[in-house]
Amino acid sequence: MKKYIIANWKSNKNLSEVAFWLNNFPNEPESLQVLHGLEIILAPPYPFLVSAQEIIEERHLPIKLAVQDLSAFGKGAYTGEVSAFNLQDLDIQYAILGHSERRRFLKESDQLIADKIAEALSWHIKPILCLDKPNFASQARFLSRQILPKLFLAYEPVTAIGSGQAEDAHNLSLIKKELYSIYQVKTLIYGGSVNAANVGSFLQVCDGVLLGGASLELSDFVNLLFTASESLIQL
């Protein structure tokens, strides 16, 4: 079973920075061999999805694409929204939904996020639902029992995001039990101040990690990938 390493670039980078990052991502056979135990997922800002996909295809990079949000509506008169229909001819396999920054700054509600999840699933886009502490029991109230097993759950305590104060891996194993009893999900991702030094401990407990800051500089990210791969050998 592969471990998921998800890079959420948030609103960082411009087109030339995106091109630099992807054009320099290692793709020689030795590196690909080391990375084969990882499912690497990149969520760039919307405007860069097309060029990111082109470079990924051209260079045969082992990277899948995600969006950082998805409209709850279909195609139509929804100014400023990006619908799953808009993305149809791109190879978008995942959608990060309900990130705490969207809940906080854009006032996204649990109901709206549940609608986005339903829309993603109807287009065969895998939702990565972000939850934070201490709200995770109530954050699923609009999700049906049939939908829950189809999600990836990303546990991202707000205090850990961008603070350098990652959750303790032992606490995380307790939280994992609690989350599994509420949500019956199959895949649990951890996010919040993950870096090359702590990624191995999180991969022992979870199915993957969601990264913000540590995914921005290519050299940091590649270092983290190699460390993550090494940690899997010990599992």
Instruction: Kindly list the catalytic residues.
Output: 99, 156
Task: Choose one: 23-31, 52-60, 211-219, 225-233; the region binding ligand 13P (CB under 6 A).
Answer: 211-219
Task: Choose one: 16-24, 102-110, 181-189, 209-217; the region binding ligand 13P (CB under 6 A).
Answer: 209-217
Length of the chain: 235
Which 88-107 residues touch ligand 13P, going by CB under 6 A?
99
Q: Does position 210 bind ligand 13P by CB under 6 A?
A: yes
d(CA 217, CA 29): 22
Per DSSP, 28 falls in state S
Find the binder of ligand 13P among 112, 213, 226, 227 (CB under 6 A).
213
Which 96-155 residues touch ligand 13P, going by CB under 6 A?
99
Q: Does position 8 bind ligand 13P by CB under 6 A?
A: yes
d(CA 186, CA 149): 6
Angle (CA) 194-198-200 rounded to 5° is: 110
Task: Choose one: 114-122, 170-178, 207-215, 223-231; the region binding ligand 13P (CB under 6 A).
Answer: 207-215
> How do beta strands 92-97 and 38-43 pair?
unpaired
DSSP string over 39-100: EEEEE--GGGHHHHHHHHHHTT-SEEEEES---SS-SSS-TT---TTTTTTS-EEEEEES-H
Tokens linked to 149 = 């097993």
Measured from the CB atom, the residue of 119 and 156 that comes closer to ligand 13P is: 156
Task: Choose one: 25-33, 49-57, 59-67, 187-195; the region binding ligand 13P (CB under 6 A).
Answer: 187-195
The residue among 84, 161, 65 whose CA lies nearest residue 124 is 84
Closest approach of ligand 13P to the CB of residue 105, in Å: 13
- Residues forming beta bridges with residue 92, ordered by sequence position: 65
Find the binder of ligand 13P among 132, 156, 167, 207 (CB under 6 A).
156
Tokens linked to 78 = 């929804």
Q: Does position 214 bind ligand 13P by CB under 6 A?
A: yes
Closest approach of ligand 13P to the CB of residue 148, in Å: 20
Measured from the CB atom, the residue of 41 and 114 that comes closer to ligand 13P is: 41
Measured from the CB atom, the residue of 75 and 104 that comes closer to ligand 13P is: 104
Closest approach of ligand 13P to the CB of residue 181, in Å: 24
Count CA within 13 A, CB hemisphere, residue 222: 13
Interface ranges with ligand 13P (CB under 6 A): 8, 99, 156, 161-162, 191-194, 210-214
